[in-house]
Copies of this chain bind each other. A is one copy, B any other.
Amino acid sequence: MSPNWIEQFQGLASLDASIKSLMTQKSNIISYAKNSVIFGSGKAPDHFLLLLEGTVRVQQLSEAGREIVLYRVHAGQSCVLTTACLLAYEDYAAEGIAESEVKAMALPRVVFNQLIAQSDEFRRFVFSAYSRRMTDLFAVIEDIAFQRMDIRLAQKLLELVDEDAQIKSTHQKMAAELGSAREVISRLLQEFQRRNWIAQSRGTIKLLNRGEIKKLATTNS
């Protein structure tokens, strides 16, 4: 890894050169295969993770086997839940899954502590990351509690759509994104299809009228 990977991270770029070199020297790259579990269900890495490539999906599992996606960690962001595991020795109901091949810089706990102690800047970076995730969780709570499902689904479609205007996902997975039931999602997607907003085929949803979907997604918010 080139030593200037740090520059990718907003909030770390302005660190002292000495701090930067400490980070670069004491860290190493970890790779995770697609769909591998990065933390959760007992296992937690003992490093502070800074994501270089790929995406980590953080999701909650209920005992009944239902799921809901909490947020995603993208390249250039840190994974605060691993930090939490690292420092607080708590275990979580949440788990982190590599959504694609993931590469991350891993800082050993000792180095992490050293940085926190030495650098005001690094400290701010870490706390900001925490705050950001808290905010994400607040948004999730507000959505689940108060937002209509058709609006949430429209938002999710826009969030997950790829460059070909498609979403490669089953109804079941979309339901897990929103913490809903498959039948509910099928019903709503069928209504969207009836309005010619989308076209469906097994495992993929194609957006035909992004304008109308966006209009629904932004009603009352």
Residues of A within 8 A of B (CB): 60, 62-64, 66, 68, 70, 81, 83-84, 87-88, 90, 92-94, 113, 116-118, 120, 123-124, 127-128, 130-135, 137-142, 144-146, 179, 220-221
Contact = CB atoms under 8 A, between A and B. Distances in A.
A135 B87 CA distance: 14
A55 to B, nearest CB: 20
B142 A144 contact: no
Nearest to A61: B142
A135 B60 contact: no
Nearest to A68: B145
A93 B144 contact: no
A145 B84 contact: no
Given A66-B146, A123-B113, A128 B88 contact: yes
Contact of A146 (B64, B88, B131, B137): B64
Given A87-B128, A179-B145, A221-B63, A137 B137 contact: yes
Given A138-B60, A142-B62, A145-B144, A120 B128 contact: no
Given A88-B131, A113-B123, A124-B88, A220 B63 contact: yes
